[in-house]
Amino acid sequence: MLPPYLIEMFIFLMGLCIGSFLNVCIYRLPESKSIVHPRSMCPNCDTLIPFYDNIPLFSYLWLKGQCRRCKVKISMRYPMVELLGGLVALGTYLRFGLTIETLIYYVFIAALLVVTFIDLDHRIIPDVITLPGIPICFAASFALPVITYKDALLGILVGGGSLFLVAWVYTILTKKEGMGGGDIKLLAMMGAIVGWKGVLFTIFVASLVGTLAGFAVMLQSRKGMKLAVPFGPFLSIGSITYIFFGTELVTWYLNLLR
């Protein structure tokens, strides 16, 4: 039996490697490019990146954040996503142990990381993730002991239906499109994993964090109320928060009301 710290180190390193793959997805999916071919290359000089320059996190530090050939700066986004991949892998393991829950939640959160950064960059949420994600997450919910298939099904309906209703009412009142269909499909996918209670929690946290972030951005922007802020990242924050701390936070809140 391996010591716990070796297991944790192995899981963290595996998470770093998966984080490197998430970077590929974030860069290529919006451009409808294959995520398996060709090999990774420098976006500036198109030089293929050798394996020793593509070691997650460590290569960035070794190369001092620049391409070996053309010396162009490599975005901090790359090591940040790799690090998030490692931390999420370790965090899900420490929270749920060596279980099927850990695997399901990690894959789910990894998909949310891809969605988050794509939405931040392009203001889109790719259907290639959410549309197959809804039935896949529903199937995965059968292996989760914390929700039933009925909870997952209601989560899909409440998640997709609630945002669709909000978007429909907003369009009726303002004659403008306020919330994209990507957010609706994303929340439906989330509902399959966190259930209808998790959907309500996710919407509350996303709205709260999104409002605070929106005000902060508006204060630094000349666009004021016309500024468009992507909602997908905040939905992801809400859903991930529910997975790790939802039960404890809801219990804490209910105790405050007593």
Count of beta carbons in the 10 Å neighbourhood of residue 1? 5
Whether pLDDT at 226 is above 60 = no
Cis amide linkage into residue 56, ω under 30° from 0: no
Separation of alpha carbons 245 and 258, rounded Å: 21
Q: How far apart are CA 236 and CA 239, in angstroms?
A: 5
pLDDT at 181 over 90: no
pLDDT in tens, 6-26: 999 999 999 999 999 999 999
The contacts of residue 56 (CB under 8 Å, 6+ apart) are 16, 17, 19, 20, 79, 82, 85, 86
Q: How far apart are CA 239 and CA 133, in angstroms?
A: 15
Please check whether residue 243 is in contact with residue 194, taking contact to mean a CB–CB distance below 8 angstroms. Answer: yes
pLDDT on residue 179 = 61
Q: Which residues of 182-197 are buried (b: 16+ CB within 10 A; e: fewer)?
A: bbbbbbbbbbbbbbbb
Domain boundaries, the chain: 1-98, 126-258
pLDDT at residue 154 in the model: 95
Average pLDDT over residues 126-148: 95
For residue 39, what pLDDT is reported? 83
Question: How high is the mean pLDDT of the chain?
Answer: 89
Question: Residue 227 pLDDT > 70, yes or no?
Answer: no
Averaged pLDDT, 68-95 = 94
- DSSP annotation of 192 reads H
